[in-house]
Amino acid sequence: MRREEIAAFIKSERLIAIVRTKEQEKVADIIESLVQGGIKIIEITSNTPGFLNEISNAKRKYSKSDILIGAGTVINAEIAKDAIESGAQFLVTPNTNTEVLSVANKYDIPIAMGAITPTEICTAIAHGADIVKLFPAGNLGIEYFKSVKSPLDNVCFFAVGGIDFSNVEEWIAAGISGFGLGSALTKAKESKEEGVKKNAERFVKIKNESQWIN
C-alpha cells in the first residue's frame, strides 16, 4: 500500500490500538487479541522492550491481511528510521518534531504527529503530517478540542490519552475524527487475552454504530 492508501485506511478505521508493555513476551498475544476483537490498526511503542523485533514479527505474521503495524512513541529521527527499516507501516509521535516528519516523508510513510497548541498543529500539518494526534486529549478536554478545531477544521484530529468507554461518544459527538487507545483496550479485569478481545469488540461496535461528523 502507498502512503496515501495507508493514511486513508487509518482515517477510515478511526481507531489505532496502542501496545505498550514492559514484558516483550506479551506483545504478540496482545496484538492477536486486538485483531480477534476487530482492530486493524496497531502501533507498538518504542518504550516496549524489543519493539523493533515485535514490529518485524507482527508485520510478517499479518502480511497477508489488512492489518497495519506501526511504531508509536517515535520521539526522534533515529527511532523513526529504525522503526521503518523494521517494517513499520506508519509512525505515531507524542511530540511535534519536524525531523521525524522529514524521515517519514523520505520513506513515504504516513505519520500521526502529536501536537497540542495551534502553532504545533499548524507546524505538523505544514511539514506533512497526515493526522494530528491531540495529546494528552483527556487533560486538554473536549472544549479545548472544539476551540482549536474551529479555525483548523481541515485537520484530521485523533484524540489520544484519557479516552475510555466513559467519554468516547462525547468526543465523537464533538467532531473528533478518530482515537488512539492504549490501556482502555489492553487493561482487563478478566483473563488478559479474552478481556483485551472483549474491550476491542466493544470499542469497534461503538465506532461502527456512531454518527461521525468528520
187-201: per-residue pLDDT in tens? Answer: 865 556 689 999 999
94-151: per-residue pLDDT in tens? Answer: 999 999 999 999 999 999 999 999 999 999 999 999 999 999 999 999 999 999 999 9
What structural domains does the chain harbor?
A: 3-209 (3.20.20.70)
* Per-residue pLDDT at 182 exceeds 70: yes
Catalytic residue among 11, 40, 59, 133: 133
Give backbone dihedrals phi and psi of 126, rounded to 5 degrees, phi first: -65, -30
Enter the C-alpha cell of residue 59: 508485520
Q: Report the predicted TM-score, pTM, of the whole model to 2 decimal places.
A: 0.96
Residues 2-19 as b or e (16 or more Cβ within 10 Å = b): ebeebbebbbebbbbbbb
Judge whether 43 counts as a catalytic residue.
Answer: yes
Catalytic residue among 40, 43, 54, 197: 43
With a CB cutoff of 8 Å and minimum separation 6, the contacts of 25 are none
Looking at residue 122, what is its pLDDT? 98
Q: Give dist(CA 211, CA 214) in Å, integer.
A: 9
54-89: per-residue pLDDT in tens? Answer: 999 999 999 999 999 999 999 999 999 999 999 999
CB 142 within 8 A of CB 171: yes
CB 84 within 8 A of CB 91: yes
Judge whether 205 counts as a catalytic residue.
Answer: no
Mean per-residue pLDDT, 173-195: 85
Looking at residue 194, what is its pLDDT? 82
* Per-residue pLDDT at 38 exceeds 60: yes
Looking at residue 193, what is its pLDDT? 64
Q: Give dist(CA 46, CA 73) in Å, integer.
A: 5
With a CB cutoff of 8 Å and minimum separation 6, the contacts of 166 are none
CA atoms within 13 A on the CB side of 105: 13
* Per-residue pLDDT at 27 exceeds 80: yes
